[in-house]
Amino acid sequence: MVKFIAAFFLCLSVTASNAAPSLHLSVQDINGDAFSLSEYSGSVVYVDFWASWCGPCRKSFPWMNAMHQKYANQGLKIIAINLDTETKLAQQFLTQIQADFTIAYDPDMHVATEFEILGMPSSYLFNRKGELVAKHVGFYREEQAKYEAEIQRWLESVDD
């Protein structure tokens, strides 16, 4: 019984110590060269995980293009991280649906594992200090105004 209780509290402490996802992780560009998400420090960063087979991702890309176009000059950076094991599949997707924002790749899902994504697409919003301030699983058209309001809030915040 004592071993069970010790194991139980060990599991609790490991769970409690898990940090929020961080921008201090590296992803790949189309050529396979690594770059760090921390390069976007000082900006409001919207990180979106997607895959070519994801239906809701097809709906989120036009919205992300609109957000990029509307708020990039105010400091919004959008990084869409593809999780396909073959970048060829992502490239086919991108020939059908344009992306005006940064596309990155995580074919081994190292970054996705750190973020503990639960579904596709999964998005994470970081303030200018690199702190996680919002996250969403899925993309719902009826929630677009809410997503945009979150972005606006952090773009306008001087004390984030």
- What are the tens digits of pLDDT across the range 147-158? 999 999 999 986
* Mean pLDDT across 136-155: 96
Contact 143, 59 (CB under 8 A): no
What is the percentage of the chain residues whose pLDDT exceeds 70? Answer: 86
* Mean pLDDT across 6-11: 32
Angle, alpha carbons 63-115-104 (nearest 5°): 55
Contact 50, 84 (CB under 8 A): no
**26, 54, 103, 74 alpha-carbon torsion, rounded to 10°:** -100
Structure tokens at 21: 């996802």
Q: How confident is the model at residue 18 (pLDDT cuts 50, 70, 90)?
A: very low
Q: What is the pLDDT of residue 41?
A: 87
Domain map (residue ranges) of the chain? 22-156
DSSP 75: T
Q: How confident is the model at residue 20 (pLDDT cuts 50, 70, 90)?
A: low
Q: How confident is the model at residue 23 (pLDDT cuts 50, 70, 90)?
A: confident
Q: Is the pLDDT of residue 32 over 70?
A: yes
Identify the CA nearest to 47 among candidates 20, 83, 80, 23.
80
Identify the CA nearest to 114 among candidates 83, 78, 150.
83
Q: Is the pLDDT of residue 91 over 50?
A: yes
Q: How confident is the model at residue 6 (pLDDT cuts 50, 70, 90)?
A: very low
**pTM as predicted:** 0.84
Q: Which fold does the domain 22-156 belong to in CATH?
A: Glutaredoxin (3.40.30)
The three-state secondary structure class of 140 is coil
CB atoms within 10 A of CB 89: 14
Contact 139, 49 (CB under 8 A): no
State the helix-helix crossing angle for 144-156 and 55-71, rounded to 10 degrees: 30
Q: What is the pLDDT of residue 13?
A: 29
* Rounded Cα gap, residues 55 and 52, in angstroms: 8
Q: What is the pLDDT of residue 25?
A: 87
| Bridge partners (DSSP) listed for residue 104 | 81
